[in-house]
Structure 1
Amino acid sequence: MKKTKIHNYFTLSAEQKDFVIERTVRKLKTSLAVIEKDLWVCILLKYLFNDFKYKDYLVFKGGTSLSKVYNLIERFSEDIDLALNWEVLGYPQKEPYEARSYTKQEKYLDKLNENTSEFLKNEVIPVIESDLNSLLKNTNLKFYIDAKNPQSILFDYPKEYDLDPSILSVIKLEIGAVAEPIPFEEKEISTYISQANPQSFLEKISVRVVDPIRTFYEKIAILHKEANRTNGNYPNRYSRHYYDVYKMLQSNLKQRSFQNLEILESVIEFLKKFYRANFAKYDDIYQAMLKLVPSTEAIEFFKNDYNQTKSMIFGEQVSFDEILKTLQAYESELNLVIKSFDKWSNKTI
C-alpha cells in the first residue's frame, strides 16, 4: 500500500480497511471503535486548524490535547475542547475583563455565552457541514447543537464497527469563548492508524494548542474546588482529572509547575472572574492551602466513577488509592513552593 493522506483511508476497499484497523488494534491494544473514533477526531482537528474559515480564532485545549499532542496521559479522551476567541463575536479583546458588579458580570457572561451559541448554530455548523461533505465527498455528515449544552456541537460520525460501550457514540466539539488559552504553541498530531501504519499513512496534522502547564494548573484548580465542595453534588466523569494530574506529575510538568506560578495566578484570577463559585476557595491557594485530596465521601464517589471509566485507559491501570497518595505528596510540595514565592507573600485576600 503506497503512502497516502489519512482521509484517503475512506477510499480503501473493505478488506484493506479491515487490515489497517486490525493491525492498529493489535499494535495499540485498544478496540476497533476507539481506533475509528480517533480517526474522525483527527479528521475534524485537521480541518478545523487548516481549512476552517475561523481557524485563526481557535485554540485546542483540554484532555484530548494532553493525549493527542503531548502523550502525557494514556487515556482515550474523545471530546474536542476548543477555545474560541471572543473577538470573532465582536467583543473587544479586553472588554470581558472590565470591572463589574457580580450581577452585571453574570448578565454580561450570559449574553456572551448566548452569542457564542448563536454563532455555533447559525455560522459554524453550516460551514463545517458544507466544507467536510465537499472535502470527503460524503453528503451525509451531520452536526447539531447538544440539547444539554448549547456551546457543544455533536457529530454522529459514520461507524463501520460496533461501538464500544465505554465511549460516546458521538464526537463532542466543546467550543467556548469564555476561556484563556495562554500560552499556546503550534504542534503536530497523528492518528492511531498513522502511528501503527507509518509505512502507509505518514501525514502529520498541525494544530494550535494551549501549553500543557496551563492545562495542568486548570486541573489542579478543579481538584482544589472539589476538595472544598460542601454540597455533595460531585460531578460525574470528573475522576479523569485526578488521573490526568497523576500522569502529568510523572513528566517534566511537575518541575515546571514549581517555576511558573504566574500562570497559576492567571488561572486562579480567570476562574474568579468568569467561573465564580464561593465554596471553591481559590484564594486559599495563594496562602499555600492548596487542597487536592477531597473528603472521604467524595473519594468514594470519585473512586467508583474512576472504576467505571478505567476501560478508557490503555496504559498502566493505576489504582485510585495510588493516585490520591501521589496527589497528597505533591500537594505538600507545591504548598511549600508557594510559601516561598515572594510575589504572593503580601497578597491580601
Structure 2
Amino acid sequence: MSTMKESANKQLFELAARQMGISESFVEKDWHVTQALKAISNVRQKNFQLVFSGGTALSKAHKLIQRFSEDIDFIIVAPDETQSRKARSKLKHDVFNALSEAGFTIDENQVVAKNENRFFSIELEYHTIFERPHSLRPHIQIEMTVKSLQLPPVERCVSSFVNELKKTEPEVAEIYCMDPVENAADKLSAIVWRIFDQTQRGEIDRSLVRHFYDLALLKEAALNHSNFKKLVACNMEQDKDRPAASDHFSKLAISDRFNFLLNTLEKDDTYQKEYDLFIKGFSYAKTGMIPNYQTAVDAIKAMVPFVVT
C-alpha cells in the first residue's frame, strides 16, 4: 500500500474532478500513477534506457488521446543484447527501490518476472480517499519489457491532473517516450494476434478496445509516416513467435491475419458493446471529440492497405 511522502489535498482532487467532469477516484489514481512515474524516471543505469510507452504515454506525455489509463508501460532498451540476467535483475530491484523510496510498498506476491527478467510486472497498490468504482483496478499495473525500438524515443514531461489544475511544474520534468507512430504500430500488431488467439480459445479480452480508441486518434500520424509499414511488419514478425500465438497463426500471410481481424470486428458485436462501455467509463474528451466504434474500425481499415501492399 502506498504511504506517499508527498500528498495531494483532497479538495484539489475534487476540484480537478469537477473541472474535468470525471470521478474523483480517477483524479486520485492519476496522481498516484504520476508519482510512480516520477520515481521510475529517476532510475538510471548506464546499460539500459527506460522508455515510457503505451496508452498512458500517449495521454500523459504526448497529450494525443484523452482517456484514462491505469497502466505504466516501459520498454527497456539494452544496447548490448548480451546483458546478463544479473544486470536485468539489478535494474528490476533499482525500480523497486525507487518506488519504495517514494512511499509505495512492494508486495513480492504481486511481482512477476519472466524470460530471465526480460519482462517483469508489478501490481502496485495505492492508498485511496475516495470510493473506487468497479471499472478501476485496485492497483497500478507496471510492466517493463526488454525490446529494441525502431524509432528514436522523444523527450516529454508529465504532470498529474492536480498539477495541471494548479499550473505548477510537472512532476516529471523529462522522460524518454516511445514515438507515437511506433506506439500505433505496436497496438495494431497487438490486436491482430490477440484477437486471433482469443477467438480460437472462445475468449474476449475487454481491455483490447482501448487500442481501437487509440488507433482512431493516431491514424493520421501513422499514415503520414513513411516507415509505418516497416514498423508494423517488424512488430508482427516478433508477435508471431509469442507463446500465445498458434502455429496456424504464424503460418498465415499478413493479409490473411488482417482479414481475420476486420471480419471479427465487423461481425462480433461484443467488441462494440465493450468499446461503448470503455468510452463511457474512461474517456474525458469533450462531447463530439470521442471516436465512436465505427470510426475506430474505419481507422484500422484505413491502415491495412498501407501495411499489406
Q: Sequence identity of aligned pairs in percent?
A: 19
Q: Return the letter of the residue paired with 2:65.
A: I
Q: Return the letter of the residue paired with 2:215.
A: V
Alignment counterpart, residue 273 of structure 2, candidates 268, 283, 304? 304
TM-score, normalised by the number of residues in structure 2: 0.78
Instruction: Assess if the C-alpha contact under 8 Å between 2:240 and 2:249 holds in 1.
Output: no
Q: Does 1:203 align with 2:173?
A: no
Further displaced range: 231-240 or 60-69? 231-240
Q: Deviation at 1:298?
A: 6.7
Q: 1:282 to 1:330 in 2, by over 3 A?
A: farther
Match in the other structure for 2:36: 44
Q: 1:279 to 1:24 in 2, by over 3 A?
A: farther
Q: Return the letter of the residue paired with 1:143.
A: I
> Which deviations, in whole Å up to 9, do the C-alpha atoms of 1:321-342 show, x marking residues without a partner?
33223433443x425xx52xxx
Q: 1:294 to 1:195 in 2, by over 3 A?
A: farther
Alignment counterpart, residue 99 of structure 2, candidates 128, 131, 152? 128
Q: Does 1:268 align with 2:236?
A: yes
Q: 1:9 to 1:121 in 2, by over 3 A?
A: closer
Instruction: Assess if the C-alpha contact under 8 Å between 2:27 and 2:162 holds in 1.
Output: yes
Match in the other structure for 1:25: 17
Alignment counterpart, residue 295 of structure 2, candidates 322, 325, 338? 322
Instruction: Assess if the C-alpha contact under 8 Å between 2:216 and 2:291 holds in 1.
Output: no
Q: Deviation at 1:36?
A: 1.1
Q: Secondary structure of the residue that 1:238 maps to in structure 2?
A: helix
TM-score, normalised by the number of residues in structure 1: 0.70
Instruction: Assess if the C-alpha contact under 8 Å between 1:217 and 1:264 holds in 2.
Output: yes
Instruction: Assess if the C-alpha contact under 8 Å between 1:223 and 1:293 holds in 2.
Output: no
Alignment counterpart, residue 193 of structure 1, candidates 162, 168, 173? 162
Q: Return the letter of the residue paired with 1:325.
A: D
Q: Does 1:35 align with 2:27?
A: yes
Alignment counterpart, residue 180 of structure 1, candidates 143, 148, 152? 148
Distance 1:122 1:244 in 2: 32
Q: Deviation at 1:317?
A: 4.5
Q: Deviation at 1:244?
A: 1.4
Q: Deviation at 1:269?
A: 2.9
> Which deviations, in whole Å up to 9, do the C-alpha atoms of 1:258-294 show, x marking residues without a partner?
5433323332333245567234458633x69744524
Q: Deviation at 1:86?
A: 5.2
Distance 2:273 2:108 in 1: 30
Q: 1:64 to 1:153 in 2, by over 3 A?
A: same
Q: 1:66 to 1:318 in 2, by over 3 A?
A: same
Q: 1:224 to 1:121 in 2, by over 3 A?
A: closer
Larger Rg: 1
Q: Deviation at 1:61?
A: 0.9
Instruction: Assess if the C-alpha contact under 8 Å between 1:30 and 1:314 holds in 2.
Output: yes
Q: 1:121 to 1:213 in 2, by over 3 A?
A: closer
- Map of 1:224-239 to 2, 5 A cutoff? 224-226=192-194, 228-229=196-197, 230-231=199-200, 232-239=202-209
Unaligned 5+ residue runs, structure 2?
114-119
Instruction: Assess if the C-alpha contact under 8 Å between 2:75 and 2:145 holds in 1.
Output: yes
Q: Does 1:143 align with 2:106?
A: yes
Unaligned 5+ residue runs, structure 1?
1-6, 97-110, 134-140, 340-349
> Which deviations, in whole Å up to 9, do the C-alpha atoms of 1:84-141 show, x marking residues without a partner?
3457xxxx41x59xxxxxxxxxxxxxx97x996x667766424531x224xxxxxxx3
Q: Secondary structure of the residue that 2:284 maps to in structure 1?
A: coil
Q: Return the letter of the residue paired with 1:295.
A: T
Q: Return the letter of the residue paired with 1:128.
A: L
Distance 2:238 2:72 in 1: 21
Q: 1:39 to 1:300 in 2, by over 3 A?
A: same
Further displaced range: 320-329 or 67-76? 320-329
- Map of 1:271-282 to 2, 5 A cutoff? 271-273=239-241, 277=245, 278-281=247-250
Distance 2:265 2:178 in 1: 33
Instruction: Assess if the C-alpha contact under 8 Å between 1:225 and 1:282 holds in 2.
Output: no
For these two proteins, the number of residue pairs brought into alignment is: 289
Distance 2:179 2:250 in 1: 25
Instruction: Assess if the C-alpha contact under 8 Å between 1:180 and 1:270 holds in 2.
Output: no
Q: Secondary structure of the residue that 1:261 maps to in structure 2?
A: helix
Q: Return the letter of the residue paired with 2:61.
A: V
Q: Deviation at 1:42?
A: 1.2
Match in the other structure for 2:126: 157
